[in-house]
Amino acid sequence: MIRIIIDNQPLVVPEGTTILEAAHSLGIDIPTLCHRDGIHSTPATSCLACLVKVQGKMVPACATQAADQMVVESETEEIRALRRTSLELLLSDHAGDCFAPCQFACPAGMDIPQMLRFLTAGDFFSAIQVVKQRIALPTTLGRVCPRPCEKICRRKDIDAPVAICQLKRYVADCDLGSSHPFVPEIAPATGKRVVILGAGLTGLAAAYSLCVFGHEVVILEKESFAGGRLRNWDEDTLPKDVLDAEIDAILSLPISIALGNPFEWNSREYWDELHDNFDAIFLATGPISEQDAAGLGLPRGKTGIAVVPGTYQVISTPDFPYDNVFAGGTIVRGPKAMVVRSVADGREAADVIDRFLAESVVEPIVSPFSVRIKKLKKEELDEMAPSGKLIPREEPIDAGTDDFTPDEAANQAARCLHCDCRGREKCRLLRYSQMYGAQTERFREDNTASLKIQRSGDILYEPGKCIKCGLCVSMTQTAMQERKQLLGLSFVGRGFDVKIGVPFDGTLQDALDQVAHQCVEACPTAALMIND
């Protein structure tokens, strides 16, 4: 047995133990991409994400054995910077989107490809769950949203964009009109109270999420009805019975609402009472006049009252000395804000308020880490085209609730090219890049790898995502030796041109054969994925 110290933590380990193994036994997460226990007979040390410092020298933790009295540093800023650089070098040649362009274009951040996959499979319950995670009023938005997601849909460069908004509306209509519409699971009560001023798009969206988070929610609305500017749409575009049904579904949750309750903007007693009776206040009233804002002591921005960027927290002033007030929607963005943006404000503000209530901190909303490839060339679109059903877009003219049949909806959803990465939940490159604050564009050049997709049964292989770690090579070679598999993967080429390939003109299916799913599980960058 030998004694070592890692990050000031003493440890006794058997001889032959690597620094990586010792660190993991202490619960220290040293990143690894090219290493997986029990796969490589000799460590590859190609990714250099596991660098640590020993006696003034940087060494790979996966390949360095612990020695008696060794002192290891693994979490200094110097080491973090080197790991970050290693990750950025890998990202510089990474051809693939973590999240689909349509999801980034949706202000609410709805996971559109996942919804479409569920619709293609006929799983309407799972589809509405995906929708309701980000959008509380999908039936309504399906009729009035300006469809920013479709403007960036890559399918439009082949023939026409996927009918995303229509399909979202369809699944929401089906759910709302069913005998057992979706009801979200509500977290245990937190004991925290939130008051929302305004029952329009933003207020209702915030109320829905805050209620789901387990908070007691009270809405105050000056009008005798809920819905705000949604009431301004014509009956043909947004039937009142549809709007009422969706609002009723939200208010059927444990949410209290008081209609006909005017806001006393200029009364200090009114605000003191709200502050004393509620743990957080959310302003979703729609635009307010400069006079009301000035009388309340609220600072104004270009389009409405000013909030701390990214947090929805209203900036406090000597005349408005409250730190638990948040605001979103047109009161901040002005009357021309997109309806889907107003819904997104309610959802995101609820996230900020939830953390504020739990931890007394206000943190900005951060976009998820994602590699984003730019506009695809024709040959890259040709690679992606088989991922979607090659049928034309069909969007019914009627605005009824049964405009698609289930088969038609499934077919239209199947037109999606699935630009997102279906392996991102297990992608270690994404996980560690986010953890270390890697910049995706730091070393990227115009000659980065192009998007290519190889299909083999239910397996997808994207060479542009591969970091040549060799894990799949070792696994298939082992299968050849131990399971009598006839063919495996190997390294093809030399230097910067090396790639993972199949020798003797074999197919990917031949090479993966008995260990296909194990290789998918081991792949650190989701270059190998299940084609579900």
Containing H/E element for 217? strand 216-220
Pick the range with the lowest mean pLDDT from 94-108, 210-224, 376-390, 501-515: 501-515
**Cα 83-21-437 angle, rounded to 5 deg:** 20
Smallest CA-to-CA distance from 272 within 334, 222, 319, 306 is with 319
- The bridge status of strand 193-197 relative to strand 454-456 is unpaired
CA 408 to chain centre: 28
Q: Which two tokens stand for residue 211?
A: 């209620």
Tens digits of per-residue pLDDT, 338-388?
A: 999 999 999 999 999 999 999 999 999 988 899 998 889 899 999 999 999
Q: Are 230 and 200 in contact (CB under 8 A)?
A: yes
Q: Which domains does the chain have, with CATH numbers?
A: 2-75 (3.10.20.740), 101-181+375-413 (no CATH), 193-359 (3.50.50.60), 443-530 (3.30.70)
Taking 50 as the threshold, does the pLDDT of residue 76 lie above it?
yes
34 burial type by CB count under 10 A (0-12 exposed, 13-18 middle, 19+ buried): buried
Around Cβ 470, how many Cβ atoms within 10 Å?
19
Mean pLDDT over the full length of the chain: 92
What is the tens place of the pLDDT at every residue in 110-163?
A: 999 999 999 999 999 999 999 999 999 999 999 999 999 999 999 999 999 999
Amino acid letter, 511: A
Residue of 388, 383, 520, 523 lying closest to 453 (CA atoms): 383
pLDDT score recorded for residue 397: 54
pLDDT of residue 313: 97
Is the pLDDT at 510 greater than 90, yes or no?
no
Average pLDDT over residues 8-32: 94
Q: How confident is the model at residue 401 (pLDDT cuts 50, 70, 90)?
A: very low
pLDDT in the model for residue 266:
83
Q: Rounded distance, CA 485 to CA 442, Å?
A: 42
Q: Indicate if the pLDDT at residue 189 is higher than 50.
A: yes
Mean pLDDT of 33-43: 85
Residue 302 confidence class, pLDDT cut points 50, 70, 90: confident
Distances (CA, A) of 140 to 133, 399, 413, 532: 16, 12, 20, 30
Judge if pTM exceeds 0.95.
no
Which tokens sit at 410?
Answer: 């499934």
pLDDT of residue 367: 87
Report pLDDT for 399: 47
Query: How far apart are the C-alpha atoms of 52 and 80, rounded to whole Å?
Result: 9
Given a cut of 90, is residue 249 above it in pLDDT?
yes
Q: What percent of the chain is modeled with pLDDT above 70?
A: 98
Collapse the DSSP code of 126 into the 3-class scheme (helix H, G, I; strand E, B; otherwise coil) and give the result.
helix
388 DSSP 8-state letter: S
Of 21-35, 272-286, 310-324, 434-448, the least confident: 434-448
